Amino acid sequence: MDTSQLLKGVLDLAVLAVLRDADGYGYDVLRRLRAAGLDDVADASVYGTLRRLFAAGALTSYVQPSEEGPHRKYYGLNKTGHELLARSTQTWNHFADTMSVLLLEKEAA
Amino acid sequence: MNSTLTGAVALYLAQVRAELSDLPPGELEDVLQDVSDHLTEVAAEFSAEPTLNDLQQRLGTPREYADELRTAAGYPVRTAPVGKDHLDAGWKALRWGLIASIVGPFFIVVGIFAWSRDGTAFFGLLGLGILFVAAFLGVQALRGNDPRIVLDTPRGARGAAAIRGWIEQIPPHIRHELLTIGQPVWWVARGVIGGGGFFALFGAESVTVVGAIAGAAVSIWIGRKTQRDRRWLWYVVPLNVIAAIAVPSFLAAAYAGASFGLFDNYNSYRGSSNYSPPENGLVLNGTQVSNIYPFDAQGKQVPVRLYDQDGNPIGLEVQDCATSYGQESRDTTSNLFPQAVVSPDENGDSGPDNCKDTTKAPFVPPPAPATPVTPSPAPSPTPKPSVGVTTPKPTPGATLTVQPTR
């Protein structure tokens, strides 16, 4: 099964999750997702997701100069973002539980 | 940062831009800033500068990248096939820009040569006309799109990549110096030479300095304006091409310290710097001759008209009352001698109201020689005059160099 197909549905949740602990810029978010084991995540879709979450009002954005030189656009969760993360987490847990039960039943059968 | 993108990265970005060109302008700029940042980070992953192929292996083709971005960001699916109109507009604008930048300056340079040879301004005006019409049509061809759409066209992207390649040949610190110091210097230089040259060419040398200062101010203003509104580039690039030809030519001419062949038309100087230009008028042994008082063999003053060996009148500027006080043009010349000159009254005054002319010689001629000079009965075809008269230029006010008989 192709993980990249699964990722498409949960990328919002994954991005919100890596921003929960600390604000990050696009490439940083990408690295954190990879470090967490989501190797198949497509670069462009992470940037697109950040953009959409920002447009939806779930993220704050600010520019900060980096040590290496270029300014970087940081994203962070605002109140809406935290609420969205909480709701999405519930939805995911429910979904994952359902799937797990389904798969267990199939295995048991 | 857009400005620091080079080579394959810039090309990749340009292609992503083309794929997303249907987005609203503000959103497009924002998302492309993200893409630009991303590509900069990705390029840093490579030990050397990545090729377009490296980037495609890492990120997919620009189209795939743009599609991923579009889907994830929730942008509407692209309806029109990849900017057909958009590419057409970009290409048309680019084409007019090239015509303005190449054909216009070409005819202007031809025009300057033609003008210096026979004074015809036709090619110069034609060149200016082509330049401004093509530039105008180029801006029109954009049809309100962002001027950067020309970079989305295959030729535009290739050209931009090539130019970036050349710029990369320059070491970074020199590049920085060129931008921070070279650019203002260039703005001033092209303005000074453009503004000053314009007035000098059209004969208003007295206001050349004012023209040069005004030119510099206008040039700086245009430079700043162009940084904000890139549509000005359609006019500025062709004019820069002309300046890029004119500024070194001017500097070379100034360095040689001599008038450039091009400028002979308005410049009375001839030849090189170690040759002092002859003075106007008649010169005898280096002293200016202001009038000639002919006397006949009997010592009687007579009026004569003087001509040189080619039948050109040998004239001087008339300095009688009429020309001195404005009734006649000041550069009237006459070859009738003696010329009338202003004669001061008994108080030494010679005002315009009581001005009097006189042709009387202000000296008493020495007595006529005892044996009157008789003309030789059969003059040789090239008579050897007792004074050698040479005329370098057959024009009124010519220089006469009169040498004593040896």
Nearest CA in chain B to A29: B38
**Under DSSP, is residue A54 helix (H, G, I), strand (E, B) or coil?**
helix
Q: Which residue of A7, A33, A43 is the best one to mutate when testing the B interface, meaning the one whose CB has the most B CBs within 10 A?
A: A43
Interface contact flag, B38 A73, Cβ < 8 Å? no
Partner A contacted by B9 (CB < 8 A): no
Nearest CA in chain A to B73: A48
**Residues of chain B numbered 371-400 and touching chain A (CB < 8 Å):** none
Mean pLDDT for chain A?
89
Task: Please state which of the four CATH numbers 1.10.10.10, 3.40.640.10, 1.10.8.420, 3.90.1150.10 is assigned to the domain occupying A3-108.
Answer: 1.10.10.10
Q: What is the DSSP letter of B206?
A: G
Interface contact flag, B34 A51, Cβ < 8 Å? yes
* Angle between helices A3-21 and A43-55 in degrees, nearest 10: 50
d(CA A47, CA B13): 14
3-state secondary structure labels for all residues of B230-278: HHHHHHHHHHHHHHHHHHHHHHHHHHHCCCCHHHHHCCCCCCCCCCCCC
Q: B249-266, pLDDT tens digit by residue?
A: 777 877 776 544 444 444
Domain ranges in chain A?
A: 3-108
Q: What is the ipTM of this complex?
A: 0.88
At A104, which amino acid appears? L
Distance from CA of B72 to the nearest CA of A (A): 5
Partner B contacted by A49 (CB < 8 A): yes
Nearest Cβ partner for A11 among B40, B42, B72: B72
Instruction: Report the pLDDT value the prediction gives residue B69, as an integer from 0 to 100.
Output: 92
8 Å CB contact between B226 and B232: yes
Q: What is the DSSP letter of B295?
A: B
Pairing mode, if any, of strands B282-284 and B400-403?
Answer: parallel
Instruction: Report the pLDDT value the prediction gives residue B323, as an integer from 0 to 100.
Output: 74
Partner A contacted by B77 (CB < 8 A): no
At B336, which amino acid appears? L
Which helix (H) or strand (E) segment holds residue B193: the answer is: helix B183-201
**Under DSSP, is residue B396 helix (H, G, I), strand (E, B) or coil?**
coil
**Under DSSP, is residue A24 helix (H, G, I), strand (E, B) or coil?**
strand
Q: List chain B pLDDT tens, one digit each, 406 residues.
A: 444 567 788 889 988 988 888 888 888 888 898 999 899 889 888 888 888 888 898 999 998 999 999 989 888 887 655 556 667 788 888 888 999 899 988 988 888 888 777 877 888 888 889 889 999 988 888 877 777 777 777 778 778 778 877 887 888 888 888 888 888 888 888 888 888 877 776 666 777 888 888 888 999 998 888 887 888 888 888 888 888 888 887 778 777 765 444 444 444 444 444 444 455 677 777 777 888 888 888 888 888 888 888 888 888 878 777 777 766 666 678 888 888 887 776 666 666 667 778 888 888 777 766 655 555 555 555 544 445 445 444 445 445 555 555 5
Nearest Cβ partner for B37 among A8, A45, A72: A72
Measured between beta carbons, the chain B residues lying within 8 angstroms of A49 are 72-73
8 Å CB contact between A23 and A76: yes
Interface contact flag, B72 A70, Cβ < 8 Å? no
**Residue whose C-alpha is closest to residue A90's, from B47, B150, A82, B250:** A82
Interface contact flag, B1 A45, Cβ < 8 Å? no
**Residues of chain A numbered 65-104 and touching chain B (CB < 8 Å):** 70-73
8 Å CB contact between B179 and B160: no
Instruction: Report the pLDDT value the prediction gives residue A78, as an integer from 0 to 100.
Output: 93
Measured between beta carbons, the chain B residues lying within 8 angstroms of A51 are 30-31, 34, 69, 72-73
User: Could you give phi then psi for residue B378, rounded to 5 degrees?
Assistant: -125, 90
Nearest CA in chain A to B5: A70
Distance from CA of A34 to the nearest CA of B (A): 14
Contacts (Cβ under 8 Å, ≥6 apart) of B325: B352, B355
d(CA B134, CA B59): 40
Q: A15-72, pLDDT tens digit by residue?
A: 999 999 899 999 999 999 999 998 888 899 999 999 999 999 999 999 888 776 677 8
Partner A contacted by B40 (CB < 8 A): yes
For chain A, list the strands marked E by DSSP: 24-25, 59-65, 71-77
Q: B28-39, pLDDT tens digit by residue?
A: 888 898 999 899
8 Å CB contact between A83 and A18: no
Q: What is the DSSP letter of B339?
A: P
Partner B contacted by A53 (CB < 8 A): no
Q: What is the DSSP letter of B311?
A: S
